Amino acid sequence: MNDLIANLALYGAGALSGAALLALGATPFLRKRRQQHEAQQAQIQALTTRITAEELTTRLAAVRDDAATRQDRALAQQQAGHERALEDARREAETEAMARADNLLRAHEGELISLRRALLAEHEAVTRNIESLLDIMKIVERWHDEMQAILSNNDELREQNAEFSRIVKHVVILSLNASIEAARAGEHGLGFAVVADGVRDLADTASRWALHYKENLDKNDFITTTTFQDIQASGSMIRTAVLTLKAANEQIGRRIADHGSAPCLH
Partner 1 sequence: MPALITPRTLTTLEEAFRQALREISGAGQAAAPALERQTLETLDGSGERRLLTLTLSSYLFRIVLLFDFRLDAPTQAYFARLFRNGDAKLAEQALADVLSEYVNMLSGTANRLLSTEALRTGMSTPFALETHCRRHLQKLAPAECLAYRVKPAEAVAFNLILCLCVAPEATLDLATAPLVEEVVGGELELF
Q: How far is the CB of 117 from partner 1 (least distance, A)?
A: 32
Q: What distance in Å separates the CA atoms of residue 64 and residue 204, rounded to the nearest whole number? A: 144
**Rounded-to-10 torsion of CA 92, 94, 97, 101:** -140
Of 154 and 249, the one with the shorter C-beta distance to partner 1 is 154
Q: How far is the CB of 147 from partner 1 (least distance, A)?
A: 11
Positions in 164-223 near partner 1 (CB under 8 A): 215, 218-219, 221-223
Q: How far is the CB of 222 from partner 1 (least distance, A)?
A: 4
Q: How far is the CB of 254 from partner 1 (least distance, A)?
A: 22
Instruction: Give how many residues touch partner 1 by CB under 8 A.
Output: 21
User: Which segment (48-56, 160-168, 182-190, 225-233) binds partner 1 by CB under 8 A?
Assistant: 225-233
Contact by Cβ (8 Å): 196, 175? yes
User: Which segment (12-20, 58-66, 116-124, 239-247) binds partner 1 by CB under 8 A?
Assistant: 239-247
Q: How far is the CB of 211 from partner 1 (least distance, A)?
A: 10
Instruction: Candidates 41, 226, 248, 255: give the one binding partner 1 (CB under 8 A).
Output: 226
163 class by beta-carbon count within 10 Å (0-12 exposed, 13-18 middle, 19+ buried): exposed
Interface with partner 1, residue 241, by CB under 8 A: yes
Interface with partner 1, residue 240, by CB under 8 A: yes
Q: What distance in Å separates the CA atoms of residue 52 and residue 213, rounded to the nearest whole number? A: 148
Contact by Cβ (8 Å): 192, 178? yes
Rg over alpha carbons for the chain, rounded to the nearest Å, is 69
Contact by Cβ (8 Å): 87, 247? no
Interface with partner 1, residue 152, by CB under 8 A: no
Contact by Cβ (8 Å): 164, 136? no
CB atoms within 10 A of CB 101: 11
Of 58 and 236, the one with the shorter C-beta distance to partner 1 is 236
Interaction site with partner 1 (CB under 8 A): 215, 218-219, 221-223, 225-226, 228-230, 232-241
